[in-house]
Amino acid sequence: MTERLLQFIWQFQYYNKNELRTAADEPVQIISQGQINNNQGPDFINGKIKISNTTWAGTIELHIKTSDWNRHNHDEDKNYSNVILHVVWEDDRVPGPVSQINNVPVLELQNRVSKILLQRYEELMNASSFIACEKSIHSVRDIVWNSWKERLLVERLLRKAYIVEQFLQQTNQHWEESFWWLLARNFGMKVNAMAFESIAKSISLNILAKHKNQVQQLEALLFGQAGLLSADFTEDYPTLLQKEYKFLQTKYNLKPVHEPIYFLRMRPGNFPTVRLAQLAALVHESSHLFSRIKEASSVKEIKNWLDISANDYWHYHYRFDELSSFKKKKPGKDMIDSIIINSIVPVLFVYGNYNNESRYKLKALKWLEDTATESNSITKGFQLINIESKNAYDSQALIELKNEYCNKKKCLECSVGNTILKQMN
C-alpha cells in the first residue's frame, strides 16, 4: 500500500461502506469524502461526515498507519487543527482505551478494500512490458480514451509552452523575435538545438530584415555566428561568405556563439550546414514570420511556406569545400512536419492561451490533426499493441502518455489506469 493508492481509494470511495465504525467503535457515515488537496495541509478538503448523531465538516487526513500522524508532527501543525477524520490503512496503535489521536476519529480501511483491486494495482506497478496496461487497455471505452488523449495533448503543448514563455520574458513579450528563436532551435534538431538557438539570439530580427534580400549575406551572418567560416577555404563561395561576415561582424559588433556544432552520427541531409542554409533561405523568402502563421488558414499554407530550397551552392555540397553529387537541399516532409509540430503549433497555442483567444488554440489542434503521425520508438511500440496513431494529434498524445505516465508508473493519475482499476473494484 502507498499513500497515493490510499488517496485514490478514498477519492473514488473504492471500499466497503457498509456499517462503517471508527476505531472507537462509533458509527460513522461519509456524507462527502471531500476534494483532494494539492496544496499544503491535509489530503482532502471540504469533507463532511456524521459520527453517531453529530455532523462534522472539515478536512480529512490519510496515512498508511495511524502512528504516521505523530511521525509527521501533525499535532504541532495548525494546518491540521480542522481535521475531522483520520483515514488509515492500518491502525497500528497498541489496543487500549485510547482510540484516537488529538481527539481525531480514526477509520481503518485495510479489511474493506477489494483484494482484486490491490492485486491489479500490484501487477501494473510490477509490469515490465512496453506499457503496464497493454493487456487491458483495449477494454477502455472510446469516450474515455478520446477525452484522455485530448488532455494529454494539451498537457504536452503546455509543457512545450514553457520554452516559449521563457523566450517571451527574454524578449520583453516580442512574439516575432521569440518565434525566430524557436524556429531556429527546431532547425538545429535535437543535436544542435542549443547551438542554433544561440545563433538566433545573437542576430536580431532587425539585422536579418536589413539583409533579407541577399541570401548570401544571411548565410554569412548565420554561418559566421556559428563559427563555421574560420577555415582556409579553397572554393570561391565560402571565401565570399567569409569576407561578407567579417564586414557584417564589424558593422554590428557581433560576437560568434560558443556552442559546439555537431556533424557526427547524422545523415548528410541533416548536417547543420544544410539546415543553416535552409534557414537562411526561409528568412530570405519570408517576412514577419509569426504574423504569417497567425494569418494562415490551413496547415497546407504553412507546408507550402516551409517548402523552400537552399541556394544553388548547397545542391552540390553538404559541407564547405567538399563537392558532392547534385541533390536539391529542401527540408523534406519529415522536417517540415517536425517544424509544424515542435515550433509552429506550440507557439500558436501559447499565443491563443496568452491572449485568451480560443480560435488560435483550436487552429493549433486542427493543424496537428492535419499533420502526419510521427514515426519513432514510442509510436511503433503502441502500434505493436494495436493502438493506432492516425496523425500528429495522436502521436503527440501517445508520446506524452508514455513519457509522463507509463514510464513513471503514474497509473493512478492516468484515465486509462483509473478505468482499469475501477473495473477491478
Q: Where are the domains of the chain?
A: 3-113, 172-345
* pLDDT per residue as tens digits for the range 220-236: 999 999 999 999 999 99
Distance in angstroms (rounded) separating the CA atoms of residues 88 and 107: 6
Distance in angstroms (rounded) separating the CA atoms of residues 260 and 267: 18
Distance in angstroms (rounded) separating the CA atoms of residues 400 and 378: 10
SS3 sequence, 250-290? HHHCCCCCCCCCCCCCCCHHHCHHHHHHHHHHHHHHCCCHH
Q: Span 290-296, mean pLDDT?
A: 92
pLDDT at 416: 93
- Who contacts 77 (Cβ-Cβ below 8 Å, separation ≥6)? none
Distance in angstroms (rounded) separating the CA atoms of residues 117 and 119: 5
pLDDT at 100: 56
Q: What is the mean pLDDT of the chain?
A: 93
Distance in angstroms (rounded) separating the CA atoms of residues 116 and 135: 16
pLDDT at 7: 94
Task: Report the percentage of the chain scoring pLDDT > 70.
Answer: 97
Written as nine digits, the cell of 297 is: 488558414
* pLDDT per residue as tens digits for the range 153-188: 999 999 998 999 999 999 999 999 999 999 999 999
What are 86's strand-pairing partners? Answer: 61, 106
CB count within 10 Å of CB 369 equals 12
Closest CA to 22 of 138, 104, 135: 104
In degrees and rounded to multiples of 5, residue 83 shows phi and psi of: -75, 130
Least reliable range by pLDDT among 6-10, 73-77, 313-317, 372-376: 73-77
Distance in angstroms (rounded) separating the CA atoms of residues 7 and 326: 63
The overall pTM is greater than 0.85: no
Task: Report the percentage of the chain scoring pLDDT > 90.
Answer: 86
* pLDDT per residue as tens digits for the range 317-339: 999 999 999 999 999 999 999 99
Distance in angstroms (rounded) separating the CA atoms of residues 343 and 332: 16
What are 106's strand-pairing partners? Answer: 86
Confidence check: pLDDT of 97 > 50: no
* pLDDT per residue as tens digits for the range 124-164: 999 899 999 998 999 999 999 999 999 999 999 999 989 99
